[in-house]
Amino acid sequence: MSLAKLTQTLTERRAEFVYEAARLAAIAANAPVIPLPWVDRERPFKEQFLKVIKRQCGLNRSESPEKLHADWVQAYLKMGWVYGEKYDPSRRTHPDIVPYYDLGQLERDKDAVFLALCEIARKYIYA
């Protein structure tokens, strides 16, 4: 195991697990947007994601995919992303920057999988 892995905080370990597992689920579902590997994500994204995981593994976690999606949209808007028909990281456009009920079933399922992965991380990844 690398030294970096040994020095990760509990929240960092949980975040990497949730992110990579959700990424694998997107690949398996043949989703139109496949996120980059965790190690390749930019710092602002990782910082906001760590906050989400900390909240989702704590007492104030949300059980609503709709609420989590709305929070995700707000986080992306804060990072300078806008709606675009195609996912384009260089232009910061994303097709999922829409209200939850305008998402297709696959994207709504991804949100439910994300919630389930957060719950697994909360229960089974600990200090």
DSSP 88: B
Residue 1 has pLDDT above 90, yes or no: no
Rounded Cα distance between 93 and 26, Å, is 18
Within 8 A by CB and 6+ apart from 24, the residues are none
Rounded Cα distance between 104 and 109, Å, is 9
β partners of residue 93: 82, 88
* pLDDT tens sequence across 97-112: 999 999 999 999 999 9
Among residues 86, 109, 110, the alpha carbon closest in space to that of 97 is found at 86
pLDDT at 2: 61
Phi, psi of 112 (to 5 degrees): -65, -40
pLDDT at 5: 62
**Could you give the 3-state DSSP secondary structure of residue 11?**
helix
* pLDDT tens sequence across 53-89: 999 999 999 999 999 999 999 999 999 999 999 999 9
Residue 7 has pLDDT above 90, yes or no: no
pTM, full prediction: 0.92
Neighbours of 11 (CB within 10 A): 19
